């Protein structure tokens, strides 16, 4: 997959002195359009998905008490902040897009980075996108079918439409995508305010009976605390997505740390206060019995107005879909630029300045999983790989402190922060091995297939002529079809 000089859309061969121009005479490249507000909206809008509205009961169930569950929500927020601060340092000293992939590449070389990329493409990203899209499809239709259940085919059809819409918007314009993300982020925060404000009002009125004996020792389940902790960390996952688009961030040395810190404080406060509001109105038993906590909460306080909650949940899921596609497409863009994916994925639309091919590359496999795959089992044995490679990226930060001490670090965190966070990640990997060895073993086996794939697709360069011709022909055809050209640095 070595880089070759490409032809532009007019059919003229580029040479070393030719620069592809767009219709306005400017360079064809990804622009620095991610401001501080847009950066905050990417992080918050991707972290806050359906979970906080639907099922926070996993933490309560495994912690055993109301007080301990709130402690875990705060602790997971602080630990996620540690990870986010570590990534802020990585994002300011390595000013490349690509997130996890780029940091593993810089610290540990191309083979380890390719394995990370391999499991992302064949399983983690399509499955994760399909799951959050299915949640969107279910909740966008629920107000129409209430009080009846939503037909499964209807859910999948709505999901497919939502996924196609997000892909289209991301392909058309970076500005549209960013503005939509800001709107959806404010929608999520409004939805949480609708829960938090009346909940705290009830608390100030003296509705504290559900907090009595909140830290009852005999109800705390020590054996379940790791699982509660695992659920909490998963709820905060998404703080790393701004690092996927570093090259498009305006003044990244300032914007990346600020956006990360502001976002994590907002999310941690909102998550904790939302759970306090739930407990103000609902007892622990009622919360555990509910399949959708926010809906049950709204039914008790708002009556018929509770029909609006599924709409807010659907908007929340749509925001997560939008943020994920925007960020992950940049990882594929960078991997292609490094020669580890087909060349067309690192090309940019000649007029819209979007990496169209990198945006839509996941679309076919995600749709296939949506209609034919067992997505949830796939997620089960892939979750540990996510934390393994995030932990590895943060260990890479510590490693580069010693191997590359002269690297400029505009933002530098105390060494104990990445040390604590990487230990947390590896603890969760160990927990996966202990609690679900079969699915974890399957995930590990899938990861190992990346080793032969690396040698077949990357190292082995004596490919048959027919394969090389087919690859070149596909690249040229896609370049013409998608109207993309090599980006200028």
Q: Which tens digit of pLDDT belongs to each residue from 24-44?
A: 555 656 677 788 999 999 999
Residues in the chain: 489
Residue 19 has pLDDT above 50, yes or no: no
Residue 465 has pLDDT above 80, yes or no: no
Distance CA 351, CA 457 (A): 32
Q: What is the pLDDT of residue 450?
A: 92
Greater model confidence, 287 or 109: 109
Alpha helices in 173-246 (DSSP H): 174-204, 225-236
Q: Is residue 9 part of a domain?
A: no
pTM score, whole prediction: 0.85
Instruction: For residue 317, give its domain range.
Output: 36-486
Report pLDDT digits (tens) over 144-200.
877 777 888 888 899 999 999 999 999 998 888 989 999 999 988 888 888 899 888
Greater model confidence, 58 or 87: 87
Q: Is residue 2 part of a domain?
A: no
Instruction: Report helix, strand or coil for 177.
Output: helix
Report pLDDT digits (tens) over 218-239.
656 666 677 788 788 888 988 8
Distance CA 201, CA 312 (A): 21
Report pLDDT digits (tens) over 357-406.
999 988 988 888 888 766 666 666 677 788 889 999 999 999 999 999 99
Q: What is the pLDDT of residue 18?
A: 41
* 254: its two tokens: 């300032």
Report pLDDT digits (tens) over 422-435.
999 998 888 777 77
As a whole-number percent, the residues of the chain with pLDDT over 70 amount to 88
- Among 108-117, 220-229, 453-462, where is mean pLDDT lowest? 220-229
Number of structural domains the chain divides into? 1
Q: Is residue 48 part of a domain?
A: yes
- Please give the mean pLDDT across all residues of the chain: 83
Report pLDDT digits (tens) over 304-331.
777 888 888 888 889 999 999 999 999 9
Of the pLDDT bands very low, low, confident and very high (cuts 50, 70, 90), residue 21 is: low
Q: What is the pLDDT of residue 67?
A: 85
Q: Is residue 164 part of a domain?
A: yes
Is 109 exposed, middle or buried (CB count within 10 Å of its CB: 0-12, 13-18, 19+)? Answer: exposed
Q: Is residue 29 part of a domain?
A: no
Q: Which residue has the tokens 């390719």?
A: 114
Q: Is the peptide bond before 147 cis (omega within 30 degrees of 0)?
A: yes
CB atoms within 10 A of CB 149: 10
Q: What is the pLDDT of residue 7?
A: 36
Of the pLDDT bands very low, low, confident and very high (cuts 50, 70, 90), residue 1 is: very low
Distance CA 234, CA 477 (A): 40
* 340: its two tokens: 């580890």
Q: Is residue 27 part of a domain?
A: no
Greater model confidence, 136 or 220: 136
Greater model confidence, 51 or 25: 51
Q: Is residue 128 part of a domain?
A: yes
Residue 169, domain CATH = 1.20.1740.10
Nearest Cα neighbor of 202 from 261, 145, 277, 266 is: 277
Q: Is residue 179 part of a domain?
A: yes
Of the pLDDT bands very low, low, confident and very high (cuts 50, 70, 90), residue 214 is: low
Of the pLDDT bands very low, low, confident and very high (cuts 50, 70, 90), residue 64 is: confident
Extended beta strands in 206-365, E state: 347-349
């Amino acid at each position: 997959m070595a880089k070759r000089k490409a032809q532009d859309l007019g059919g003229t061969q580029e040479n070393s002195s030719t620069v592809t121009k767009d219709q306005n005479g400017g360079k064809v490249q990804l622009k620095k359009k991610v401001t501080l507000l847009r950066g905050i909206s990417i992080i918050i809008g991707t972290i806050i998905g359906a979970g906080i509205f639907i099922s926070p009961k996993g933490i309560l169930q495994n912690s055993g008490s109301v007080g301990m569950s709130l402690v875990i929500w705060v602790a997971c927020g602080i630990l996620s902040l540690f990870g986010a601060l570590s990534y802020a340092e990585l994002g300011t000293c390595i000013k490349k897009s690509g997130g996890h992939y780029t940091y593993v590449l810089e610290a540990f070389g191309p083979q380890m980075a390719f394995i990370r990329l391999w499991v992302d493409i064949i399983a983690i990203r399509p499955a994760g996108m399909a799951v959050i899209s299915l949640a969107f499809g279910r909740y966008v239709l629920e107000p129409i079918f209430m009080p009846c259940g939503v037909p499964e085919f209807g859910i999948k059809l709505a999901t497919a439409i939502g996924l196609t819409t997000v892909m289209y918007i991301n392909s058309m314009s970076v500005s549209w995508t960013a503005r939509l993300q800001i709107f959806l982020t404010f929608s999520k925060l409004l939805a949480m305010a609708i829960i938090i404000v009346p909940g705290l009002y009830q608390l100030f009125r003296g509705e504290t009976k559900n907090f009595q004996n909140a830290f009852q020792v005999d109800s705390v389940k020590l054996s379940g605390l790791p699982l509660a902790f695992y659920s909490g960390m998963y709820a905060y996952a998404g703080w790393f997505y701004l690092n996927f688009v570093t090259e498009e961030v305006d003044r990244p040395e300032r914007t990346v740390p600020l956006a990360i810190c502001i976002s994590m404080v907002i999310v941690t406060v909102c998550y904790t206060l939302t759970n306090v509001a739930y407990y103000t109105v609902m007892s622990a038993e009622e919360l555990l019995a509910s399949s959708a906590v926010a809906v049950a909460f709204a039914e008790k306080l708002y009556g018929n107005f509770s029909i609006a909650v599924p709409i807010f949940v659907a908007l929340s899921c749509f925001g997560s879909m939008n943020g994920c596609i925007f960020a992950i497409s940049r990882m594929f863009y960078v991997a292609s630029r490094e020669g580890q994916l087909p060349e067309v994925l690192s090309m940019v639309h000649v007029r819209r300045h979007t990496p169209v091919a990198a945006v839509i590359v996941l679309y076919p496999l995600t749709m296939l999983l949506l209609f034919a795959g067992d997505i949830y089992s796939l997620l089960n044995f892939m979750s540990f790989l996510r934390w393994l490679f995030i932990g590895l990226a943060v260990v890479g930060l510590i490693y580069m402190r010693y191997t590359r001490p002269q690297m400029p670090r505009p933002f530098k965190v105390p060494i104990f922060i990445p040390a604590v966070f990487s230990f947390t990640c590896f603890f969760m990997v160990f927990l996966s091995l202990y609690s679900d060895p079969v699915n974890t073993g399957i995930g590990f086996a899938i990861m190992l297939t990346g080793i032969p794939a690396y040698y077949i697709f990357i190292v082995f360069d004596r490919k048959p002529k027919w394969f090389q011709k087919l690859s070149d022909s596909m690249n040229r055809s896609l370049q013409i079809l998608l109207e993309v050209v090599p980006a200028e640095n």
